[in-house]
Structure 1
Amino acid sequence: MKFAEFPTSNANALVTGGARGIGYSIARLLAEAGARVVIADLEEDAAVTAARSLGSEAVGYGLDVGDPRAFAALIDIVESEIGPVDIMVNNAGIMPMGPLADESRDIAEATMRVNFWAHYDSFRILAPRMTARGRGHFINITSAAGAIHSPGLATYVAAKHAATGFGRSAREELVGTGVTLSVVMPSAVRTELVDGIRFSWWERLGIITPATVARRAVGTLRKRPAVVGAPLGTVVALRLYHLVPEPIWLLGRRIVGADRTLEPYDRHARAAYDGRIGRQSGEPGAGESADGASSAD
């Protein structure tokens, strides 16, 4: 399907997980394109500071996207005080690491709330309002993990599969309304999400920058495609992956040293990152457990 370019000038954009990494890079590009940007982040001080760096029209709020009531309340505040949300960027995400048998139920549920249910909640809240206005665009940041599998990331992978499938399906329910939804699937990104992971030299070559993802995400406003990858070519590679027989896949992973659960990793390097997942899971000491996590992709 063909869509007209979505105008950013004077549009209102809400970016979750926008205080750092991919979210901040997206917020900055949107602000440069003339949008009024609202940054929402688990850490309110970081959100306010990030917004201040974008100019006088940007605003920052604290938000745990895993709390649907708080999410709905923030959207109401934004729409009453700033204006209708025209561009919704669902970027916030957390990534627990380690063997599935060592993962707590609290961590798993927090992962699903942040990585999947937040996408669902934003759609249920905003889609009716956007369709009533006849305009709007969702940019849902999922992951290449939303199309493959990976040991040590089972719950994260499940959440990203759910988010990717949800976004693709929800998009088709919007046909003819003037509202669109694009799914963005990045590979590994150089953010706090990969802090402490001991990558091999060849794995490090494939890690991209937040700016790369941001350009692909904001670029969806031009033609509003169903799905894009970051870097370019990711989606094609993910489709070909499904044609690889399991024995060959497992052999390849063993040869390149990727048949592991991302352990051991540097817990000190991930301490701040892991600590924030404790706030979202309600699990004391999550930062010191085997269940690593992040505040945003």
Structure 2
Amino acid sequence: MRRRSTAGLVVAITGGANGIGRETAERFARAGALVAVGDLDGPAAQAAAQALGAPAIGLALDVTDERSFTAFLDTVEQQLGPVDVLVNNAGVMWVGAFETEPERVAERQVAVNLLGAIRGVRLVAPRMVARGSGCIVTVASAASLVAPPGESTYAATKHGIHGYLKGVRRELRGRGVDVCAVMPAVVDTALAAGTSTGATPMLTTADVAAAVVRAVERPRFEVFVPGRLAALAVLLAVLPRPVRDLAERLLVPDQLKRLAAGAATRSGYEATHFGGPTP
């Protein structure tokens, strides 16, 4: 397995001002990387970068806009150098019954989680291929393989990016660019506020950030967090459907039950990320 040192690498991170993205930026900076924090909240990105110390920059980035993403990559190259690592981290999640999900909310999740990550891959990969080296890490989710009740559209976006990365990985084989999907269980962030973790303990942002850095240092296509989820994924794939259904009911979080039991409200998060109150 090829090893890569993170010292001196130029690392660009989307959704980097808070949560997993910010923790990942801090970990790369401590390892000697040159970090670019991109976030829809430009001032928050700048503040996160300043907290890292030089060399780091913070830039406004809307992953749903082609010009914004292109300008982000161009600016990173101008100020720090060619992008060695792109961490596709930006993501949003709505929780609730599928029949009550507003159309604008579903569209937003697809635009950010799926098309935003696809856009990042499509824009950065040619630059890496031209140099014969690079690594693209996408923070997907365990929901890439299962679909918790109450997260149907979110899970669809994560299934989608996992499938997309499978194809891209094959197309890039032999061209010097690694493609990695990091798939954590539920992480203690604003995105997961008020949700259930199922049979897996709540993860910290540090757990996921460490996995992202390891994926760059020792590239693997699928990185599960915690690692034992890999065995669970293999098991679920070979079980007969009735047995698999039972296993998923026991192991996979049911967010609808969580909401029905009076879970902490998500109204603040959803108002911020989906442009107003949702049912």
Judge same fold: TM > 0.5, yes or no: yes
3-state secondary structure, aligned to 1:196: coil
Moved over 3 A (4+): 202-205, 243-260, 264-269
Give the structure 1 partner of residue 229 of structure 2. 234
- Per-residue CA deviations over 1:241-273 (Å, capped at 9, x if unaligned) read 233444445555667895552424878753442
Give the structure 1 partner of residue 204 of structure 2. 209
- Per-residue CA deviations over 1:159-188 (Å, capped at 9, x if unaligned) read 000111111221121111111111111011
Give the structure 2 partner of residue 176 of structure 1. 174
Cα distance in 2 for partners of 1:64, 1:28 equals: 21
Between the aligned residues of both structures, percent identity stands at 36
Normalising by structure 2, we get a TM-score of 0.91
Alignment map for 1:254-293 (pairs within 5 Å): 259=254, 261=256, 262-264=258-260, 269-279=265-275, 285=276, 288-290=277-279
User: Mind listing any 5+ residue stretches in structure 1 that lack a counterpart?
Assistant: 280-284, 291-297
Give the structure 1 partner of residue 193 of structure 2. 195
User: Mind listing any 5+ residue stretches in structure 2 that lack a counterpart?
Assistant: none
3-state secondary structure, aligned to 1:193: helix
Distance 1:255-1:268 versus aligned 2 partners, 3 A rule: closer
Superposition deviation, residue 195 in structure 1: 1.1
Alignment map for 1:243-258 (pairs within 5 Å): 243-251=238-246
Aligned partner of 2:55 among 57, 64, 71: 57
Give the structure 1 partner of residue 165 of structure 2. 167
3-state secondary structure, aligned to 1:221: helix
- Per-residue CA deviations over 1:219-257 (Å, capped at 9, x if unaligned) read 012221111100112122122123344444555566789
8 A Cα contact 2:7 2:32, kept in partner: yes
8 A Cα contact 2:271 2:278, kept in partner: no
Distance 1:255-1:170 versus aligned 2 partners, 3 A rule: closer
8 A Cα contact 1:168 1:183, kept in partner: no
Give the structure 1 partner of residue 148 of structure 2. 150
Give the structure 2 partner of residue 293 of structure 1. none
Aligned partner of 1:11 among 9, 12, 34: 9
3-state secondary structure, aligned to 1:14: strand
Give the structure 2 partner of residue 26 of structure 1. 24
Distance 1:53-1:260 versus aligned 2 partners, 3 A rule: closer
Letter in 1 for 2:207: T
Cα distance in 2 for partners of 1:119, 1:265 equals: 34
Of 99-108 and 203-212, the range deviating more from structure 2: 203-212
Aligned partner of 1:74 among 65, 72, 75: 72
8 A Cα contact 1:253 1:259, kept in partner: no
Superposition deviation, residue 105 in structure 1: 1.7
Cα distance in 1 for partners of 2:264, 2:223 equals: 34
Report how many residues are paired.
Answer: 278
Over aligned residue pairs, what C-alpha RMSD do you find?
2.2
Letter in 1 for 2:98: L
8 A Cα contact 1:250 1:259, kept in partner: no
Distance 1:184-1:252 versus aligned 2 partners, 3 A rule: closer
Cα distance in 1 for partners of 2:107, 2:60 equals: 21
Distance 1:115-1:67 versus aligned 2 partners, 3 A rule: same
3-state secondary structure, aligned to 1:22: helix
3-state secondary structure, aligned to 2:259: coil
8 A Cα contact 2:6 2:217, kept in partner: no
- Per-residue CA deviations over 1:96-134 (Å, capped at 9, x if unaligned) read 111111112211111111111112111111111111111
